[in-house]
Amino acid sequence: MALETLTLETRPLAAKGTWIEVNSQRLLRNLERIRHRAGAFTRVMAVVKANAYGHGLVPVARTLEGKVDYLGIGSLREATLLREQGITAPLFLFGRIFAEEVPLALQTNVLLTVSSFEEARIISAAANSMERKATVHVKVDTGMGRLGIREEEALSEIERIVRLSSLQVEGIYTHFPTAEKYPDLPNEKQLRSFERIIESLQRKGISFALRHAANSAGALRFKKSHRLNLARIGLALYGIYPAPPFEKEILLEPVLSLKTRIIFLKRVAAGDTVGYGREFTAKQATTIAVLPTGYAHGYPFHLSGKAEVLYRGKRFKIAGRVCMDSMMIDLGPATDARVGDEVILLGSDGVEAIRAEELAGLAKTIPYDIVSRLDPTLPRLYPP
């Protein structure tokens, strides 16, 4: 049985070391809350790239299929995997593929992004040789500085692109680099610039069925534009806030829990050190629990000596450095802990919860990094 299709029935076998639990009901509740919040948008793209932000590409896609309009992916490899697993939902590919990959992309029925006329020409030529049309979305760079046609070149380039005979230009989009920041006038400026481009093209008789600019943060913030009709939802879908201000505006439930079990217990005396670099020194006699989880599993090394875990509903701190495939926690002088007891590294237990946002702050990174780096080979369990 593939790891990504494990269920709670297989938990006794799969969850003896470190594993992930994904709550599909929370995923769907987050989707509905976001859809309600971003009421101006008529369609939703669920972003499932990067192994669905660590949650499991195929199971998450199966959960969302039929409930969203598009699935957003980051590579042709993800597209072929989804198709092989029977996912028939429309797939939208961010980024750019190489010319030699275009025929496979078209065979897989993937919607492609174009960021230049030359890229569009290559796709059109491949489609023409296959006697079919290629569906594409044109990306405009209004300030991200990454992919996309430069704003000042957009009108002339898009006019050339739409004349290519084997392309169906279904959509136009842009991307906000700082949609999560409050306040952020550049985002408003980007939105106005993007809308002006759409208006100018419409005056030339060029229109698009889909017009999108909003990621999770943008969808939650910008509800004024009537020209946009698609929201691309990623981080928020998985119950993670793009920035602290959003916590007051919408309830999001974390979908993923990272769990492990105690594999060894050791009593140490006051003054004893634990771990590489001797960075933890016991201030009193205490019990150290060893957990079979480390940075090779995707748990950040930069949480060494900083982060806490949940054990029996209480918080305990990591003792010393996170190792490649293990870490130690300080359970204090009095404990009846046993080998095999469950420990939560990310998730909730009773009233206590450790969220990706908390770990990201301690590791001086972003929540995306916390969940998307999780080892794809870790068992993932999907309660019904």
The pLDDT confidence band at residue 7, using thresholds 50, 70 and 90, is very low
Q: What is the pLDDT of residues 92-118, one digit of tens each?
A: 999 899 999 999 999 999 999 999 999
Residue range 350-377: average pLDDT?
Answer: 97
The residue annotated as part of the active site, out of 49, 241, 299, 311, is: 49
Best CATH choice for the domain 256-381 from the list 2.40.37.10, 3.60.150.10, 1.10.10.10, 3.40.462.20: 2.40.37.10
Bridge partners (DSSP) listed for residue 137 = 113, 171
Of the candidate ranges 119-133, 208-222, 255-269, the one whose mean pLDDT is the lowest: 208-222
Any idea which residue has 């634990």 for tokens? 274
The pLDDT confidence band at residue 119, using thresholds 50, 70 and 90, is very high
Q: Are 97 and 112 in contact (CB under 8 A)?
A: yes
For the question of residue 53 being annotated catalytic, the response is: no
Q: Based on the number of CB atoms within 10 Å of its own CB, is 149 exposed (0-12), middle (13-18) or buried (19 or more)? A: buried
Domain extent listing, the chain: 24-239, 256-381
The pLDDT confidence band at residue 13, using thresholds 50, 70 and 90, is very low
Residue range 10-33: average pLDDT?
Answer: 83
Residue range 199-217: average pLDDT?
Answer: 91
Residue 346 has pLDDT above 80, yes or no: yes
Alpha helices in the chain (DSSP H): 11-14, 24-37, 49-53, 57-64, 76-84, 102-107, 117-129, 154-162, 185-203, 216-221, 356-363, 367-372
Residue 223 has pLDDT above 70, yes or no: no
For the question of residue 276 being annotated catalytic, the response is: yes
The pLDDT confidence band at residue 226, using thresholds 50, 70 and 90, is low
Q: Identify the pLDDT of residue 249.
A: 86
Residue range 229-250: average pLDDT?
Answer: 91
Residue 4 has pLDDT above 50, yes or no: no
Residue 10 has pLDDT above 70, yes or no: no
Q: Identify the pLDDT of residue 315.
A: 98
The pLDDT confidence band at residue 182, using thresholds 50, 70 and 90, is low
Bridge partners (DSSP) listed for residue 308 = 317
Q: What is the pLDDT of residues 264-298, one digit of tens each?
A: 999 999 999 999 999 999 999 999 999 999 999 99
Residue range 243-261: average pLDDT?
Answer: 93
Residue range 58-86: average pLDDT?
Answer: 97
The pLDDT confidence band at residue 253, using thresholds 50, 70 and 90, is very high
Residue 11 has pLDDT above 60, yes or no: no
The residue annotated as part of the active site, out of 189, 276, 295, 314, is: 276
Which pTM does this prediction carry? Answer: 0.91
The pLDDT confidence band at residue 222, using thresholds 50, 70 and 90, is low
Residue range 304-309: average pLDDT?
Answer: 98
Interacting residues of 292 by C-beta distance below 8 A, sequence separation 6+ = 17, 18, 260, 261, 263, 325, 326
Mean pLDDT score of the chain, rounded to an integer? Answer: 91
Closest alpha carbon to 309 in 283, 287, 282, 329: 329
Q: Are 198 and 208 in contact (CB under 8 A)?
A: yes
The pLDDT confidence band at residue 3, using thresholds 50, 70 and 90, is very low
Best CATH choice for the domain 24-239 from the list 3.30.360.10, 3.10.180.10, 3.20.20.10, 3.40.190.170: 3.20.20.10
Q: Identify the pLDDT of residue 37.
A: 83
C-alpha span between 349 and 129 (Å, rounded): 57
